[in-house]
Amino acid sequence: MARFIVEGGTPLRGEITPAGNKNEALPCIAAALLTDEPVTLRNVPRIRDVRNMLEIASALGAQIEDLDPHTVRITAKELKNDELPAALAKEIRPSLVFAAPLLARRKRARLGQPGGDVIGRRRVDSHFLALGELGATLDTSHGFTVTTDGLRGADVILDEASVTATENVLLAASVAKGRTVLRHAASEPHVQQLAKLLIAMGAKIAGIGTNMLTIDGVERMRGTDHTLLGDHMEIGSLIATAAMTHGEVTIKNVVPDHLRMTRLVFGRLGIDTEIRGNDVFVPARERYEIESDIGGAVPEVKPNIWPGFPTDLTSMAIAYATQAHGVVIVHEWMYDGRLFWVDTFTREMGARIILADPYRVIVLGPSELRPAEVRSPDIRAGMALLAATLCAKGKSVINNIEQIDRGYEALDERLRKLGAKIERAA
């Protein structure tokens, strides 16, 4: 297994451009299989999850062409297979969104058990309940097999505002017969971008950016050219990392509207940020103060569905808060396993954190973090631990960085350009 060797204590300084949005790339790859014409995706992050998704598309019969390091052309003239490779599917949760193109073109999708980060229970019910409304039938006797005699529009309400379930319905409804109204839909930026890609392919979708989408199915989708936005999760992570090291960093090519809640929450935790055109600037500060609630109450960081604070940034909020003066409660109610990494953080690096229950931690800052050898348990906790080692003075080792590589492209190389002392070792 690969590892990062980090010499912490150096403030990050300079400019960095975020990679393309991972969570946009994955469903867009599946969307390309809705048509037999070429779909070109640009600003694609070269990370493990994207590679796995492209390999699944190839196994199903799509032709994959790398036009340059961050541009891929997908041509699915014919889908020769309706079964996802089990070894790849179990590596990546969004493999579920291949259900829609397979149902549309093959009438059957054999999906296997989806994988992804181990951060607690992650339901798949929303996908199959919604696809059932669109005319699909689920068989669980051997994994997940979904069949249909023809997708048809319906009035669908999701039992939770699941991002991937919303994406699955968007793909399926775009080629279903008739109108679909999708209620309680997720509206994250990557969901909006997927809808825009589908419109460019010929879909008829109204309500983008809201929690109710109206989709009128079309008989045929066409090829198109689509550029992915920068990853707002990576941008949020970089903001917190820059602050933790007391650095001064400009993050290029952001979408300011997508950062409003991140900047609001981080601002209350003491991080100043400034929007400069399409860039966000993080100034250097010697001291960070957590802002108490009115009346002096301990503040709470609580993720929520979009446009709430993203759950994928709770680990970074925890790591950063160890370097700010004050106390904050982080209430991660979405995933019952996302906070368990803080035990390692506390024990090995000296962070002052109380794990109140599986969903809540109390962070008492500041902590003088010490260097340590730790293991990345998942994408987001791995990034938080990396930020912590960049902050801790001395030599640290992060093992299992394959988890970090799943979500962040060449992070060590790009952080070195900001002055970070980080090396990758076998």
The residues pairing with 274 across neighbouring beta strands, listed in sequence order, are: 281
Indicate the domain borders of the chain.
3-19+230-425, 22-226
The candidate with the shortest Cα–Cα distance to 172, out of 203, 126, 208, 138, is 203
User: Which residues of the chain fall below pLDDT 50?
Assistant: 116-121
Query: What is the token pair recorded at 65?
Result: 């062409």
**Helices (H) then strands (E): counts for the chain:** 14, 23
Q: Which of 19, 6, 8 is nearest to 237 (CA)?
A: 19
Q: What is the pLDDT of residue 114?
A: 66
> What is the CATH architecture of 3-19+230-425?
Alpha-beta prism (3.65)
What per-residue confidence (pLDDT) applies to 115?
Answer: 54
Span 243-277, pLDDT tens digits: 999 999 999 999 999 999 999 999 999 999 999 99
| CATH of segment(s) 22-226 | 3.65.10.10
Spatial contact of 363 and 396, defined as CB atoms under 8 Å apart = no
Mind listing the pLDDT tens digit for each residue in 43-59? 999 999 999 999 999 99
What's the Cα-to-Cα distance from 253 to each of 191, 247, 277, 315, 317, rounded to whole Å? 19, 19, 9, 24, 22
Tell me the C-alpha distance between 123 and 349, whole Å: 33
Query: How far, in Å, CA of 96 to CA of 166, rounded?
Result: 11
Cα(193)–Cα(84) distance, integer angstroms: 25
Q: Cα–Cα distance between 170 and 190 in angstroms, integer?
A: 12
pLDDT for position 118: 46
Among positive and negative, which fits the CA dihedral 353, 356, 358, 360? negative
User: What residues contact 51, with CB distance under 8 A and at least 6 apart?
Assistant: none
**3-class DSSP state of 219:** coil
Q: What's the half-sphere exposure (Cβ side, CA atoms, 13 Å) at 182?
A: 38
* Distances, alpha carbon 410 to alpha carbons 4, 232, 263, 400, 422, in Å: 12, 17, 25, 15, 12
What ranges make up the beta strands (E) of 191-324? 204-206, 212-216, 224-227, 248-251, 274-276, 279-282, 300-301
Q: Is 74 helix (H, G, I), strand (E, B) or coil?
A: strand
Regarding beta strands 145-148 and 136-139, do their DSSP bridges make them parallel or antiparallel, or are they unpaired?
antiparallel
Active site residues: 117
**In CATH terms, are 3-19+230-425 and 22-226 the same topology?**
yes
Sequence-distant (≥ 6) Cβ neighbours of residue 68 within 8 angstroms: none
- CA torsion angle 366 343 163 379 (round to 10): 90
Token pair, residue 267, equals 């601002």
pTM: 0.95
Whole-number pLDDT of residue 94: 85
Q: Which pLDDT score is estimated for 142?
A: 81
pLDDT for position 122: 59
For residue 112, the model assigns a pLDDT of: 74
Alpha-carbon distances, residue 60 vs 33, 142, 213 (angstroms) = 9, 19, 29
Torsion of CA 386, 390, 395, 397, to 10 degrees: 10
